[in-house]
Amino acid sequence: MSAVTLIARRELGGYFRSMTGYVIAGLVLLIDGLLFNAFVLSAGEMYSADVLSNFFYISFGTTVIASVFISMRLVAEERQTGTLVLLTSSPVHDWEIILGKYLSALAFLAIMTLATVYIPALILVNGKVSVGHLAAGYLGLLLVGATTLAIGVFGSALARTQVLAAIFSGVIVVSVLIAHLLARVTDRPLKDMFMALALYARHFPPFQTGSIHLRDVVYYIVVSYVALFAAVRVMEARRWK
Partner 1 sequence: MIEVKGLTKYYGELAAIHDLDFSIDRGEVIGFLGLNGAGKTTALKILGCVLLPTSGDVTVDGIDIARNPHDVRRRIGFLPDTPPLYNDMTVGRYLRFAAELRGVPGSEADKAVGEAEEKTHTREVHDQPIFSLSHGYRQRVGVAQALVHRPKLLILDEPTSGLDPVQIVEMRATIRALRGDHTVLLSSHILSEISQTCDRLLVIQRGEIVAQGSEQDLATKLGGGGTIEVEVAAPSTRAIEVARTVTGIGECTVLSETGGVAVVSLQGSPDLRPKVVRALVQNGIDVLRIDRGAARLESIFLRLTQDAKVEDGRPQ
Contact residues toward partner 1 (CB under 8 A) are 1, 3, 6-7, 10, 13-14, 17-18, 81-93, 239-241
Q: Which long-range contacts (CB under 8 A, 24 or more apart) does 174-183 make?
A: 176/151, 176/223, 177/64
Nearest of 81, 69, 83 to residue 24 by alpha carbon = 69
**Exposed (0-12), middle (13-18) or buried (19+): which is 151, by Cβ within 10 Å?**
buried
Q: Which is nearer to partner 1, 92 or 217 (CB)?
A: 92
Kindly state the greatest CA–CA separation across the chain: 61
DSSP 27-73: HHHHHHHHHIIIIIGGG-S--HHHHHHHHHHHHHHHHHHHHHHHHTT
Half-sphere exposure of 40 (CA within 13 A, CB side): 23
**CA 213 – CA 206 distance, rounded (Å):** 7
Q: Which is nearer to partner 1, 94 or 216 (CB)?
A: 94
Q: Residue 206, preceding bond cis, omega within 30 degrees?
A: no
Please report how close the Cβ of residue 237 comes to partner 1 at its closest, in angstroms. 10
Q: Which is nearer to partner 1, 12 or 129 (CB)?
A: 12
Q: Which is nearer to partner 1, 78 or 216 (CB)?
A: 78
Please report how close the Cβ of residue 90 comes to partner 1 at its closest, in angstroms. 5
**CA 157 – CA 94 distance, rounded (Å):** 11
Q: Which is nearer to partner 1, 50 or 77 (CB)?
A: 77
Cβ atoms of 145 and 109 within 8 Å: the answer is: yes
Please report how close the Cβ of residue 133 comes to partner 1 at its closest, in angstroms. 39
Please report how close the Cβ of residue 118 comes to partner 1 at its closest, in angstroms. 29
Please report how close the Cβ of residue 84 comes to partner 1 at its closest, in angstroms. 7
Please report how close the Cβ of residue 72 comes to partner 1 at its closest, in angstroms. 17
Phi first, then psi: give them for residue 200, nearest 5 degrees.
-105, -65
Q: Which is nearer to partner 1, 7 or 25 (CB)?
A: 7
Please report how close the Cβ of residue 5 comes to partner 1 at its closest, in angstroms. 10
Termini Cα distance of the chain: 31
**CA 33 – CA 37 distance, rounded (Å):** 6
Q: Which is nearer to partner 1, 10 or 191 (CB)?
A: 10
